[in-house]
Structure 1
């Protein structure tokens, strides 16, 4: 799966605002080239909403490295909640974060997000055939949860 294929899949779910920080738009340089997906059906509140999925193209300085220092490497991050986190990662997200850090350097394997794992976020680096269907399923669920949160805040 490529970044563009994943982006197209997410955007096809509907109501998605994709933030694509780049040079000259006022965003921090560290975020340039990354993508942040929020549920914002009216397009106006996406920048203020919490993303339900992100794609990062480089290791961030305050996180353990995921090996994104090579061309075309990227990591998909998504909020799945505690129950799904346990099902995919095999432990409670509140457990010691270092338990699965070595997996963050492995392609096409789900692992606890290096910074937000304790909050129910998982990640996969360079997803391909091994994780494609599961990733699409998890993104669809994350989108539905974001829609539910949006609708609840809007009083719908």
Structure 2
């Protein structure tokens, strides 16, 4: 007689759990929330000028600024990660530069797809990627990308600080 092992349910990866992972995994993360979206900056001790610093990751929870990913569905969100050029090119090739009539970058990506790591619809030309509603498996895949984005943010912060001290 064949027996099938019971499937253990996996807790969904929610926007809140993604933000919690980022805040708890990396030192010096400064989290800013605005209109339901979350922006993660590196700034030890809260020392970050958010007007002049880009976040290294964001979690966008609705169609506040664009509707290309259809984030208006209940529970939909997109995790966005700013990669280094080398990391982006390794996964997707050269960053796109051509935009359609709505300003969306032209790629082969289906920006409405769920659980697929893809170039960011507006910021891929700056080496950003995104994934809408990642599964636990996909989130495990992007954890190293988050770590790389964080490390890049730390390097940029350290370089800015060193230049300011000269």
**Which TM-score bucket, shorter chain as reference?**
0.7 to 0.9
1:18 aligns with 2:25: no
Q: TM-score, normalised by structure 1?
A: 0.83
Distance change >3 Å, CA 95–CA 47, structure 1 → 2: closer
Listed one character per residue, the Cα deviations across residues 27-73 of structure 1 (whole Å, up to 9, x for unaligned) are: xxxxx000000001120325232100001011244x46102110000
CA distance in 2, matches of 1:151, 1:72: 36
Q: CA deviation at 1:95?
A: 5.2
Q: CA deviation at 1:3?
A: 1.2
1:135 aligns with 2:137: no
CA distance in 2, matches of 1:16, 1:129: 22
8 Å CA contact retained: 2:116, 2:132: yes
Map of 1:58 onto structure 2: 62
CA distance in 1, matches of 2:33, 2:96: 31
Q: Which has the larger radius of gyration?
A: 2
Matched residues, number = 143
CA RMSD of aligned residues (A): 1.8
Q: TM-score, normalised by structure 2?
A: 0.79
Give SS of 2:108's match: helix
CA distance in 2, matches of 1:74, 1:59: 9
1:9 aligns with 2:48: no
Listed as ranges, the gaps of 5+ residues in structure 1 are 22-31
CA distance in 2, matches of 1:59, 1:110: 19
Q: CA deviation at 1:82?
A: 2.3
1:41 aligns with 2:54: no
